[in-house]
Amino acid sequence: MNDCLFCRIIKGEIPSVKVFENDDVLAFKDINPQAPFHAVVIPKQHITGAAAITAENSAAVAKVFEAIAEIAAAENLSDGFRVVTNCGEAAGQTVPHLHFHLWARRDLGWPPG
Ligand code: 5GP
Ligand code: ZN
């Protein structure tokens, strides 16, 4: 996907502050952080969002959550963290490449807005 912002970040065409990377997953600091720790965790496979997850591509999602557990350990987020995905415009999705917000290091209210 040449015109996908997050695919371009994966390719290094747009710079990012990387938090984690392996063959399947990239995590980088959000440009507009909503918590003292705010990473965006993405599969390298282009999937448009949570509504496009299927039996054929869901392994990419498992890889993302394996990465999240590794990041939480490496960043010492043992106090707790939140993982959020926005799906669709009404939910606030602005980039059509599946991504998970990883928030930590502040009290996170519930229910969220
Ligand atoms: P969404 O609104 O789709 O759930 O999340 C997209 C996130 O990507 C937003 O939190 C936004 O701040 C972040 N973002 C958008 N463009 C860039 C960028 O060029 N670099 C980085 N690091 N984050 C970005
Ligand atoms: Zn993409």
* Pocket residue to mutate for ligand 1, from 7, 29, 30, most atoms within 8 A of Cβ: 30
Q: How far apart are CA 32 and CA 35, in angstroms?
A: 9
The CB of 86 under 6 Å from ligand 1? The reply is yes
Specify whether the CB–CB gap between 48 and 97 falls below 8 A: yes
Specify whether the CB–CB gap between 84 and 101 falls below 8 A: yes
Q: How do residues 94-108 score in pLDDT, each as one tens digit?
A: 999 999 999 999 999
The CB of 90 under 6 Å from ligand 1? The reply is no
Distance of CA 33 to the CA centre of its chain: 13
Q: How do residues 21-69 score in pLDDT, each as one tens digit?
A: 999 999 999 999 999 999 999 999 999 999 999 999 999 999 999 999 9
Total length of the chain:
113
